[in-house]
Amino acid sequence: MDFLISAAHAQAAGGSGQGGIIAFLPLVMIIVVFYLFLVRPQNKRAKEQREMLTKIAAGDEVATAGGLLGKVLEVGDQYLTLEIANGVNVKLQKFQVSQLLPKGTVKGA
């Protein structure tokens, strides 16, 4: 009788070759969803931000990450000078610019 029980256990353990692939399918699906909903949109936003920063020129009106609004006076490689009020100029790093505003948004500068 012990011979039949051990033979049945041996047969059940040997046929799981395709079951291993199916076990990894949910993990692969999670990775694909993670890429599509998190990584890809973030890369797209970063690319748009880099393109916007390269297009900034003197005379443009911008909003910074800190909430300052102003008109760009000078643009360098890494820094720009922003006029936030009449006669008040601030020098800041380019990557701090979060948004390019339409002309005429900033009235005081």
Segment 11-46, tens digit of pLDDT: 555 555 567 788 889 999 999 999 999 999 999 999
Closest-CA residue to 97 (of 22, 11, 75, 107): 75
Q: Domain spanning 57-101 has what CATH number?
A: 2.30.30.60
pLDDT per residue over 64-102, tens digit each?
999 999 999 999 999 999 999 999 999 999 999 999 999
Q: How confident is the model at residue 48 (pLDDT cuts 50, 70, 90)?
A: very high
Which residue ranges make up each domain of the chain? 18-55, 57-101
SS3 38: helix
Q: Are 55 and 100 spatial neighbours (Cβ–Cβ below 8 Å)?
A: yes
Looking at residue 96, its amino acid is Q
